Amino acid sequence: SSTRRNNGNVCSKINNLILTLNLFPTIPRTTNEHELMSQTLSTRLFLVLLIIIMTILLLYTSLVNITNTVIVKTPTVEKYLELYSKFPETLSCPCSAISISYGKFFLMDYTLHQVCSSDFVNDEWINYLTTHINFVWYLWNRFDFRLISGETFRGIKILCELLETTISQSLNQFYSDEYISGFLLPSGLLESQTKAFLAQFRTSTTNSFLVSLSLVRDTVQTNAVFSAKVTNYELYYHSNHVHMDPNTYNSCYCSLSSACIIQSSIYDDNSHKLKVFTVPGMYAGCYIIESLLASTFECFYNETCITRLRSFYQSNQTLQITPLNSSLPSLYSVNSTMQEMVNNLMIEEWNAIINYSNYFGECNPIQCTYSYQTRNDVIYIVTTLIGLVGGLITTLKIIVPRFIRIIRRRKVETNTGAPSLPLREQFTNFYEKFNLFPSIPPTTNEHELRNQKISTRLFVILLVLIMTILLLYTSLTNITRTVVIEKPTVETYLNLYSKYPQTLTCPCSTISINYGDILSIQYSFHQVCTSDFIRQDWISFLNFFNSPLYAHFKDFLLMGPQVFQGLRSFCLTIKAIIDNNMDKFYKNQYISAYVIPLNLFQSEVSLLNNQFRTSLIADYLLSLSLIHETTDGNALQSVQMTNYELYKRGDAISVRPSTYDNCSCTYSSSCLIQSAFYNYTNHTITFSVPGINVGCYFTEALLLSNLQCFYSKTCVNHLKSLYTWMGDIEISQIDALFPSLYTVNSSVQELINQLMIEEWNLNIMYNQYYSECSPLRCTYSYQARNDAIYIITTLVGLIGGLITILKIVVPRFVALFRRYVLKRSQVNPEVSIIGN
């Protein structure tokens, strides 16, 4: 019962405390019931509002999800991998070096087809094939494998070495190229990107090699270079002159195509027309390299076939030859042609090795950041509430009592109906009684009361004055306002850039972008490249060797096929070169850390396009010049004897340089005259072909020719009429009215100097660039004045501290000042001594 009584007393005391609690007592304490009730109501409203607001703040800070960002300084590769396994979506590690040479973290190994390391490319085997045959006898049968076997395997050896050199040089270039990455990439993404680059490297290296090989092959065919093995043309005598006729392989003329081939065989030593052994997979043709590319190695996988083949060579030499191993894993079959293998650089396997630790070390991230969703901890919640409660109490203490007083005053006036004093008298009474610094207990000292009133008035004046100054300052001052736009669209960016070009910045999430993703280039060729004049049936129509006539060596009858083969070769080779280089160009990286404005982007891309075209033209002309200079420098014999004439002198064949208008091919390969048709009996000119020249080499003469005849229907028809034994063929002339960069009289060299291109069309894809750049946010800043909300929150934030400072300073200042003034105003009496 005593415990119950004690509990009852405690409850009673708490109840009394709640009922009598007064946080807003007057000084001195009032006995007015109305005032006491106002103070009690103010206390209760104050506590209710304080509890409600603090509860709301507590719930908000406790339950709201926040993004917690963590920074890890100088991470190791092990730490990075650990963090990536936990926070793959948010982990970000900026590289201190954004460009890294591939060679510092990437190694590529490769394996060539086994033939390149076999006995068949050794000098012993090649010497064996070339030193144990009767060359003089075998000149009578160009199809005999023994005639070309040594050169065939020397060609295999050269191709293997050339491919090895090409791949090695391309790899060295690839290793020196820069891998661009602003942020550290995870190993999986780095591996996938590097494999993509490897595929690009293989494609571009292969295409470059094949285009270069094709350029050489086409030039050799166009110039009709004579093979010493007599595989493309045969020598014969006519009226003590030496002439050449094109060989045929299965009704295919070497004058029309370098790809004519026939199965290669061994022929009987006594009857050179009787086949005794057909070499499986091997072919003979106009040029050894052409027949080699069409051949397979199936015989050389078979030891029986090799033994059988060696039995036809006149040698007792013992030479150990190991067949190719058909059981080895290979991309190619036993029946794969050399061309199929060369199309893949004869590579069996590529092995890419990525050293992620080296990549990490080169990237060298100074720090990594990652973020995760969580709730505020207890310390944060407590410190936040403590930081807010002081200002909240001060604000409520100012507002609540006045709010209650106003409400209750109106209520009293309404209930009593008592007349209110005039407003002026109310203000005068309030002004006389207003005291913010009453003493406790209340003083009756006039001096002290005067100090309190002066302090109150000075306090109010200073508070109003300072708040006015702050109001004016925050209202009128210009500030730099920064705005962040999350995930802006390209339309938003362009709109912002039109308004804030100086301050708008949008960091790219991807800083390196393939050219192919942001631009495309189309081009159109000169009409001749799509005309009837490069059709194979037109070139075959011009084949003089279907004619029974004997032609002068400068006759268009002889050079006609080469003219159009040359044009065809230029068109096809240039297209392949442009496409190959364009493919490599598209894979180059455009680097931009921030979104580039449209006008600047267009200028940069146009400049890149111009540089690409200039470089492409320069590289092609250099390659073409190198081949021409090499051909001329080696004085390679043209089968049409356009550079050197073969003639019979006694039992020997002698050589003398051809001349064109007193210009000798010994001194210059650019000697030329206008091409014409000649009377086959007296060698007088019957028709000069407008614009077409003949010279030491067909390509040199073609480059200095123009196509004016082929713009004229009359000229084309007259040209056709001179081939009476060939019947007729439908050929349309080139359209002279078609819009063109070139004139009718433009030389082929002028066309070649522009890659025979009529028009380049550059398509700049800014929207695609923006999408690839993919800015996560844009920021811009501008000058503005503070808005009303900012002004109010600033003043509210300052007023509490300002009031506290003024309450401390003002009363003390007034007291000291008045004490000093009173001392100065006191009069000290003067004492005078008057002498008697």
For residue range 193-221, what is the model confidence (pLDDT) as tens digits? Answer: 888 888 888 888 998 899 889 989 988 88
The per-residue pLDDT for range 773-807, each reduced to its tens digit, is 999 889 888 888 888 877 876 776 677 678 778 88
Element (H, E) at 523: strand 519-525
Confidence of residue 547 (pLDDT cuts 50, 70, 90): very low
C-alpha of 225 from chain center: 44
The answer to whether residue 545 scores a pLDDT higher than 60 is no
pLDDT mean over 549-571: 81
The per-residue pLDDT for range 443-453, each reduced to its tens digit, is 777 788 888 88
Confidence of residue 426 (pLDDT cuts 50, 70, 90): low
The per-residue pLDDT for range 2-45, each reduced to its tens digit, is 666 666 677 777 777 777 788 877 766 777 777 888 888 888 88
- Give the pair of three-digit tokens for residue 79: 């730490």
For residue 656, the SS3 value is: strand
Minimum mean pLDDT range among 276-280, 433-437, 578-582: 433-437
What's the confidence (pLDDT) of residue 440? Answer: 67
For residue 108, the SS3 value is: strand
The answer to whether residue 138 scores a pLDDT higher than 50 is no
Q: How do the domains of the chain map onto residue ranges?
A: 1-63+376-420, 108-177+189-352, 479-512+768-786
454: left (phi over 0), alpha (psi -120 to 50) or beta: alpha
Minimum mean pLDDT range among 166-180, 415-429, 437-451, 633-647: 415-429
Q: Would you say 66 and 373 are in contact if contact means Cβ atoms under 8 Å apart? A: yes
C-alpha of 715 from chain center: 51
- Give the pair of three-digit tokens for residue 695: 């010279």
What residues have CB less than 8 Å from 310, skipping those under 6 apart?
321
The per-residue pLDDT for range 317-371, each reduced to its tens digit, is 778 899 999 999 999 999 999 999 999 999 999 988 999 999 999 999 999 998 8
- Give the pair of three-digit tokens for residue 587: 């894979």
Confidence of residue 474 (pLDDT cuts 50, 70, 90): confident
Confidence of residue 171 (pLDDT cuts 50, 70, 90): very high
What's the confidence (pLDDT) of residue 373? Answer: 81
Alpha carbon distance 556, 687 (integer Å): 10
pLDDT mean over 811-829: 75
Q: What does the mean pLDDT of the chain come to?
A: 85
The answer to whether residue 384 scores a pLDDT higher than 80 is no
pLDDT mean over 133-161: 80
pTM for this structure?
0.73
What residues have CB less than 8 Å from 501, skipping those under 6 apart?
597
Q: How many CA atoms lie within 13 A of 189 on its CB side?
A: 7
What's the confidence (pLDDT) of residue 830? Answer: 54
Alpha carbon distance 151, 221 (integer Å): 18
List of long-range contacts for 135-139, beta carbons under 8 Å, 24+ apart: 137/269, 137/272, 139/230
What's the confidence (pLDDT) of residue 826? Answer: 62
The answer to whether residue 574 scores a pLDDT higher than 90 is yes
The answer to whether residue 392 scores a pLDDT higher than 90 is no
